[in-house]
Amino acid sequence: MPVPPSAGFQLSWIARMLRTRFDARARTVGLTRAQWTMIVAVRLSEGATQAEVASHLEINSVTAGRIIDRLQAAEWIERRPDPVDRRVNRLYVTAKAAPVLEKLSVLGAEEEEVSLAGFSAEERDTLMRLLGRITDNLVAAPAPSLLPIDDCGDEDEAIPAKPLTRAVG
């Protein structure tokens, strides 16, 4: 199918292909997209609450809880009580998840090489700079009042928008 020339559609199309390819690769280590996304999100924000991670991933807390329950049962993520508020649990990646995270990192690097094949170092730098500018523009723009319903398809309510931040790098 030909891809329309709009930047938004192109970016969406590329993101979908990257997710699909990476999801297939992640299944080789026994993870679903929801699980590897959660493990990486917790790793990037160790000590965050379930609600904070759910907001970051743009899924609701119930869906996040189900994913975390499975990852906790597999001993890849653990919940620790908050030292100040006993009603709150903080999330941490376990040592058992380290090899999985390393494998995901390798798979991600391999997929990035596939997607950027034929690009010079200068072109890669330019691409990253331009993508960063798009991110900055979207972060600075007024946010819509609601984000889309999460991908899981098992919830009927939209999720209130939280401010987005740009990953440094």
- Tens-digit pLDDT profile for residues 17-64: 999 998 899 888 888 888 989 999 999 999 999 999 999 999 998 999
Q: Identify the DSSP state of 131.
A: H
Q: What domains appear along the chain, each with residue ranges and CATH number? A: 7-120 (1.10.10.10)
Q: How confident is the model at residue 155 (pLDDT cuts 50, 70, 90)?
A: very low
Instruction: Answer whether 0.75 is exceeded by the pTM.
Output: no
From residue 5, how far is each of 9, 11, 67, 110 by CA, in Å?
Answer: 7, 10, 37, 27
Looking at the DSSP assignment, which residues form a beta bridge with residue 80?
A: 90
Looking at the DSSP assignment, which residues form a beta bridge with residue 147?
A: 159
Exposed e or buried b per residue across 110-138, where buried means at least 16 C-beta atoms within 10 angstroms of its C-beta: ebeeeeeeeeeeeeeeeeeeeeeeeeeee
Q: Compute the mean pLDDT over every residue in the chain, rounded to the nearest whole number.
A: 85
